[in-house]
Amino acid sequence: MKIVVIQGPNLNMLGVREQHIYGHMKLDDIHAQMAATAKQNNAEIDFFQSNLEGELVDRIQECLGVADGIIINSAAYTHTSIAIRDAISAVKIPTIEVHLTNIHQREEFRHKSLIAPVVSGQIVGMGPFGYHLALMAMVQILKEIEAIKDTQKKALKEAKK
Which residues have a catalytic role annotated?
Answer: 22, 99
What's the chain look like in SS3?
A: CEEEEEECCCHHHCCCCCHHHHCCCCHHHHHHHHHHHHHHCCCEEEEEECCCHHHHHHHHHHCCCCCCEEEEECHHHHHCCHHHHHHHHHHCCCEEEEECCCHHHCCHHHCCCCCHHHCCEEEECCCCHHHHHHHHHHHHHHHHHHHHHHHHHHHHHHHHC
Q: At 72, which amino acid appears?
A: I
Q: What are phi and psi of 117, to 5 degrees?
A: -65, -15
What is the C-alpha to C-alpha distance for residues 133 and 34, in angstroms, rounded to an integer? 10
